[in-house]
Amino acid sequence: MSATCRRPPRRAHALLWHQIRYEQLSFWRNPQSAFFTFVFPVVVIAVFGAMFGGGRTGSSNGCGPRRCRPGRTSSACWRTASC
């Protein structure tokens, strides 16, 4: 019979807690990782929303067929569900 090392469940939970705590401390001690995880995506969404958001294309009442403007992607040509 081979000798295997089995840890009791209490030891495994303590090790898991220690690992989670270590990962959190090392993450928050690095300001670059926090910036690129939380701030950068918000800034990118805001910039692209300001650049490509807003104006509707289509007929004057907003429910006719939509026309694509030159230089726009096909997503700007979709109809909204409100019509």
pLDDT of residue 30: 93
pLDDT digits (tens, 9 = 90+) for 3-51: 677 766 788 889 999 999 999 999 999 999 999 999 999 999 999 999 9
Q: What is the pLDDT averaged over residues 42-65?
A: 75
- How far, in whole angstroms, is CA 45 from its chain's centroid? 10
User: What are the angstrom distances between the C-alpha of 71 and each of 26, 52, 55, 77?
Assistant: 45, 12, 15, 11
Long-range contacts: 53-58, Cβ < 8 Å, 24+? 56/80
Domain boundaries, the chain: 9-47
CA distance 79 to 59: 11
